[in-house]
A and B are shown apart, each in its own frame.
Chain A
Amino acid sequence: MATEILMPALSPTMTEGKLARWLKKEGDAVNSGDVLAEIETDKATMEVEAIEEGILGRILTAEGTEGVAVNTPIAILVEEGEAVPDNIDTPKSAASAEALPVAQPVASAPVSAPVSAPVEEEKDWGETQEITVREALRDALAAELQRDPDVFLMGEEVAQYQGAYKISQGLLQEFGEKRVIDMPIAEHGFTGMAVGAALTGLKPVVEFMTMNFSMQAIDHIINSAAKTLYMSGGQMGCPIVFRGPNGPASRVGAQHSQCYGSWYAHVPGLKVVVPWSSADAKGLLRAAIRDPNPVVVLENEILYGRKFPCPIDEDFIVPIGKAKIERTGSDVTIVAFSIAVTTALDAAAELAKQGIEAEVINLRSLRPLDTDTIVESVKKTSRLVTVEEGWPFAGIGAEVAMQIIEHAFDWLDAPPARVTGVDVPMPFAANLEKLALPQPEDVVKAALGLM
């Protein structure tokens, strides 16, 4: 049967081209793969190969013709012994490029970052005990390793050394080397390996010695872990946890002092939690390990040694996506996460002395963000201050402020204010480092500025 050879699109953007030269002439036998013609596009000269075998029956577009639109018939291919028809009635496919139904944007599409799904009121877990954040994280790991044989912990120095920051103390002894695995210093490779294992359904917990080093592996965190569920049409979930100390520690300089909150919270397909207290740490890490999605747990080295009350209930867990009001107040809402919650509470105590009652919200989760809780609070206080150790530009404060502008603009009595780390790489000198980080005084000043 005679078939038309159409002007092909040779690049994603090509709409027309010049038929520069025919390499076969009418009557020539053609095998699939033979070069038929050369086409010049705006970018390059390219060769058109035959897709079917046959005889080049007729050339419809002479060489030298410019502006030949993609899909124009340029020649007719016939079978041996077949007469060349004058024209061919090609049934237009139901779904040729033009005829395709164009996807219409959905009117109610969410344009902003997703807000949290409604989570039930947090349960009262009863009796608590003072433990350090370090113990809380260790307990969470031990409990989840105990609960699910598919969970394992891997990272640099997690096993024999007992954890660079002693988070995994005793876990090797308790669970053995199959479940607690030391890794060579190869973040890119071992993170890819962990993601591959997670795609099969295992539940790795990847410890980065600090989150700074996760930049070596960020391609696997984003491209391989976060996007695969979507790219696979829902087939390939990736139940994995990436965790480690995040943000400035103390006097370790620029390369070891950075907050990744904004970086990871930017990515659809990831969840990001930012524990402050021991209860946050234990409850959120357990939830992260059980979550069927990739979850980034941003811990804080300075908090590791701090003590907080933590429920002793064996089933204690904190749902991802729910902020916590750490202090109630009616005059200004201060939103913070991780160690900045301490800064915010210190500032609130100072403000109280001046007769201003601040409400302090501990975000606990950056993605999904508990916008409801922040909005409710701002509707009450009419003022918003955000506090974070990360940089200001495109930071979490910027997102929180925008959420408030979208959802509670009419309730605001003053523009939102943000208190952040200073927009410079972290300096080493003690005085400069202190100046680079948000202090309670900065928060007090920002709050007073809104009154």
Chain B
Amino acid sequence: MGTNAKQVGKAGNNGPSLTRDQFLKAYYDMLLIRRFEEKAGQLYGMGLIGGFCHLYIGQEAVVVGIQMSLKDGDKLITSYRDHGQMLVAGMTPRGVMAELTGRSTGYSHGKGGSMHMFSREKNFYGGHGIVGAQVSLGIGLAFANKYRDTDEVSVAYFGDGAANQGQVYESFNLAALLKLPCIFVIENNRYGMGTAVERASASHELYKNGEPWGIPGKRVDGMDVAAVYAAAEEAVKHCREGKGPYLLEMMTYRYRGHSMSDPAKYRTRDEVDEVRKTRDPIEHVKHILLDSGVTEAELKTMETEIKGIVNDSAEFAQTSPEPDPAELYTDVVLEA
């Protein structure tokens, strides 16, 4: 069983492509996520990040492509694999990294950690550690958009494993019933922890899982940022026009372990290597850029800038103070 690289992505989407500037931006955003995550892995290895830490490496094209079709006011929610979403939402690498190390300067003042981070300002509603919870919460964000008569949409990201949760289907029904502007994004990275999709789900075409409720669904090559963008444009338009929810299944792949401690016994090294070599979303865009006349030197400059940002965030995250002991008791309830 298992997966071969050809199964990852390549769903044959030929939507509108991106301009050179858009590709440049996508490259920058994806590389920022990748370098940030590598740094997080490094800090974890040094014992500076504790507990669970789920890296987004390999899946960068998904959030980057989707974010490109969103506008201010649109709301985001996801699982514990949330660092990439936060960075594209415009949250600062410093604030995110400092939360990973449990410091007072983190987005949750060190009280949330890797899995529980939020930004009211950037409309990022977490960071949720309970598999599937973000889907019901996500339709609530869409409910609020509609209740307030805006044309804002909400995006609820969840995994192929989460797609087995009962509340996902309660949420599909509710979203379709109430015509909520919610884009469901299944990030199908082929595994929920160590369980391959086909060992967990009798349906292997997750994009069809909304069909009983009439939710349009599309399978998308999640390793191709242009394909993601094209699909997102369509989904966002559908939602903004008040036609109800939309389901996107992003075929993607996670290179690293599920969390930091992952015995990696459920897939072969070759499988991972092949995807990395043949389907990497960042390399893919890099080639497009080079073909379009962008120079290696320009990309190197970008890379250096990103390295600087990431190193700065790591420095900040290591030198910021831990929360004051008095913080233990704050933010439990609000003054009535």
Contacts and interface: CB of A to CB of B under 8 A. Distances in A.
Q: Do A and B bind each other?
A: yes
Interface of A: 6-12, 14, 32-33, 35, 43-47, 49, 51, 70-71, 93-97, 100-101, 103-106, 109-110, 152, 178, 183-184, 186, 188-202, 219-220, 223-224, 228-237, 268-269, 271, 287, 290-293, 320
Interface string B302-336: 00000000000001001111110110111111111
Interface stretch (B102-110, B242-250, B288-296): B102-110
B120 interface: yes
13 contacts: A46-B261, A106-B326, A178-B147, A189-B167, A189-B174, A193-B140, A223-B129, A230-B111, A231-B108, A232-B126, A236-B118, A268-B332, A292-B336
A191 B135 CA distance: 12
A8 B333 CA distance: 39
Contact of A184 (B52, B107, B174): B174
B108 A233 contact: yes
Contacts of B42: 51
A188 B173 CA distance: 12
Nearest to B128: A224
Contacts of A189: 136, 139, 167, 169-171, 173-174
A231 B47 contact: no
Contacts, number: 230
Contact of B46 (A45, A97, A231, A234): A97
A103 B110 CA distance: 12
B167 A33 contact: no
A231 B177 contact: no
A9 B44 contact: yes
Nearest to A295: B336
Given A9-B47, A189-B167, A197-B143, A233 B138 contact: no
Given A202-B144, A234-B331, A271-B333, 9 more contacts: A47-B269, A71-B47, A93-B315, A96-B318, A196-B140, A224-B137, A231-B108, A232-B120, A235-B119
A105 B324 CA distance: 10
Contacts of B5: none
A192 B135 CA distance: 8
A109 B125 CA distance: 31
Contacts of B119: 235
B328 A109 contact: yes
A271 B255 CA distance: 43
Nearest to B165: A188
Nearest to B142: A196
Nearest to B154: A196
Nearest to B257: A46
A183 B135 CA distance: 17
B171 A193 contact: yes
B223 to A, nearest CB: 15
Contacts of A230: 111, 331-332
Interface of B: 38-39, 41-42, 44-48, 50-52, 57, 75, 77, 101, 106-112, 116-120, 125-130, 133, 135-141, 143-144, 147-148, 166-167, 169-171, 173-174, 177, 255-257, 260-265, 269, 276, 315, 318-323, 325-326, 328-336
A114 to B, nearest CB: 8
Q: Which 5 pairs across A and B sit closest by C-beta, in order of nearness?
A: A196-B140, A192-B136, A189-B170, A8-B45, A11-B261
B44 A8 contact: yes
Given A8-B44, A32-B38, A46-B263, A229 B333 contact: yes
B167 A192 contact: yes
A190 B326 contact: no
A220 B133 contact: yes
A191 B136 contact: yes
B108 to A, nearest CB: 4
Given A33-B276, A186-B174, A192-B167, A231 B112 contact: yes
B297 to A, nearest CB: 17
A192 B320 CA distance: 35
A11 B320 CA distance: 24
B47 A196 contact: no
Contact of B136 (A33, A71, A97, A196): A196
Given A44-B263, A46-B261, A193-B136, A320 B331 contact: no
B173 A233 contact: no
A240 B144 CA distance: 13
A184 B109 CA distance: 38
Contacts of A228: 118, 126
A194 B140 contact: yes
Nearest to B167: A188
Given A6-B46, A70-B47, A219-B133, A43 B41 contact: no
